[in-house]
Amino acid sequence: MSEMIDWTSEYDIFSKEYIENPFEIWDDLREQCPIAHTDKWGGSWLPTTYDIVTKMAREPEKFSSREIIVVPPAEAAGSGAYGPAPAAPISVDAPVHTWTRRQLLPDFSPKAVDELEVFTRAWCRELMDSIAGKPEADIAVEYAQQIPAQVIATMLGVPTTMKDQFTTWVRNSLEAGLTNPELRIKTRRELQDFFMGEIIKRRESGSTSDLIGELVHAEHDGEPYPDGLILGMCGLLLIAGVDTTWSGIGSSLWHLATHPEDRIRLVQEPELIPSAVEEFLRAYSPVTMARLVNEDMEYEGCPMKAGDRILMAFPAANRDPEHFERPDEVIIDREHNRHVAFGAGIHRCVGSNLARMEMRVAIEEFLARVPEFELREDAEVTWAGGQVRGPRTIPVRINTVIGH
C-alpha cells in the first residue's frame, strides 16, 4: 500500500489503488478509525465496520437518500426536461419512498422471478453456444455483461435489441459519468427521451403487460404518477438492474477463473452454487451507496454537518472480521453469511431475488458447458470502481467444453 496516502483523512475511491484492492484499505481503516473522512470529490465520510454501516442504513431520519451517488450532483437532484425525476424509491425518503417501493415489490417477488428463470437460462445457453466454440473469450464482455440488460429489457417491455444501448447508458451514468458530469447529464437526457417515447406508447395502447405499462397506469391518492416520477423509476430499474448484476456475475466468474479448486468443486457439486453466490456477493460486493446527513450532529465521535455525504460501504462491512470468520477468504460453502451486499433497512435492494437468480443461473450454465477455464496469463483484468465495483474485462482460455 502507498506510503504517501493517509487513508483515514484523504481516501480517494476513484484511485487505482482503491479500485483494485480496497480490502487492505478497509482493514486499515477499521482498525484506525471506524469512520474515515476525505475532502476529495466534494468530501465524504466512510464508515467501514459492519455495525456502523448497518446502523446508519437503519437511521433514515438522520441520513437521507436525497442524493445516493457517491459524488455531488452537477445538477439539481432529480431535475430534468420532464420535471423532477427522482429515482424512486432509491433516491427519496418517506413518505414517497414507502409507496413507490410498494409499487415495485410484486414485480420482484420470488414467484415473479421464478417465471423469468426459464427465459434467463435459455438466454445464457445461447450466449454459451458462441463462447464454447472458441479457444479464448472475454467473459465479462461476452457473457456477464449480456445477461442483466436482456432480462431487464424484457421486464420493462422494451426491445431486447436495445441491450447494448442500455449498457452504454448505464456505464455512462455509473462509471464514466461519475467523474464526468457533462456525460452524465447528456446520458440522462437521452435516457429520459427514450423512456418518454415508451410511456406515450403505453398511454395510447392502454397496455399494462410490462413494468413501464404498470407504472403508466398506476395511481397514488387517486392521481396517476407524474411523468417525471415514471421516468425516474424506469431509469433506476435500468441502472440498478444492469451494472450491479453484471458486476456480480463478473466477479464470480473472475474468481472461478483464478481459483481452480473452487471451480472444480462447483462443477462436481453444483448444489453448492447458491451458497457460492452468497459468498461471492459478500466477498466481492459491488455496490456502495451514499446518504446525506440531515442535521449537524456528533455521530460516533465524528463532527458531521447537515449536507455532508456518507458513503455506505456495504462492501467494507462484508469484510469485517467482527462479523465474518476469515473474512478475506472466499469460502463457497460458508455457513453463516448474513452479508449486506443488498444493503439494510428500508432501502434494501428490491431486486435481490432477481439478482440472485441471474447470478445462479449464469454460473450454472457457464460451468455446465465450460467446466474448465482459466484466466489468460497475459490477461489484464480491468475493474470499475466508485459506486459499483466489478471486472470489465476477463480474458480467459477455454480448456474443456461439454455438449455440441
* Residues engaged in binding ligand HEM (CB under 6 A): 57, 65, 68, 89-90, 101, 104, 152, 236-237, 240-241, 244-245, 248, 286-287, 289, 312, 314, 341-343, 347, 349-351, 354-355
Find, among 25, 102, 8, the residue nearest to 346 by Cα: 102
Smallest distance, Å, CB 98 to ligand HEM? Answer: 9
Find, among 249, 220, 251, 241, the residue nearest to 97 by Cα: 220
The phi, psi pair for 292, rounded to 5°, reads -115, 135
Closest CB to ligand HEM among residues 137, 170 = 170
Q: How far is CA 230 from CA 11, 188, 201, 226, in A?
A: 36, 14, 14, 7
Closest CB to ligand HEM among residues 132, 347 = 347
Residue nearest to ligand HEM (CB): 351
Closest CB to ligand HEM among residues 85, 104 = 104
Smallest distance, Å, CB 341 to ligand HEM? Answer: 5
Q: Which amino acid is at 212?
A: I
Smallest distance, Å, CB 349 to ligand HEM? Answer: 3
Closest CB to ligand HEM among residues 299, 342 = 342
Smallest distance, Å, CB 290 to ligand HEM? Answer: 8
Smallest distance, Å, CB 169 to ligand HEM? Answer: 14
C-alpha cell at 139: 467473459
Closest CB to ligand HEM among residues 257, 350 = 350
User: From CA 184, how far away is CA 188, in angstroms rounded?
Assistant: 6
Surface-to-core class of residue 75, CB atoms within 10 Å of its CB (0-12 exposed, 13-18 middle, 19+ buried):
exposed
Closest CB to ligand HEM among residues 250, 327 = 250
Smallest distance, Å, CB 216 to ligand HEM? Answer: 18
Surface-to-core class of residue 307, CB atoms within 10 Å of its CB (0-12 exposed, 13-18 middle, 19+ buried):
middle
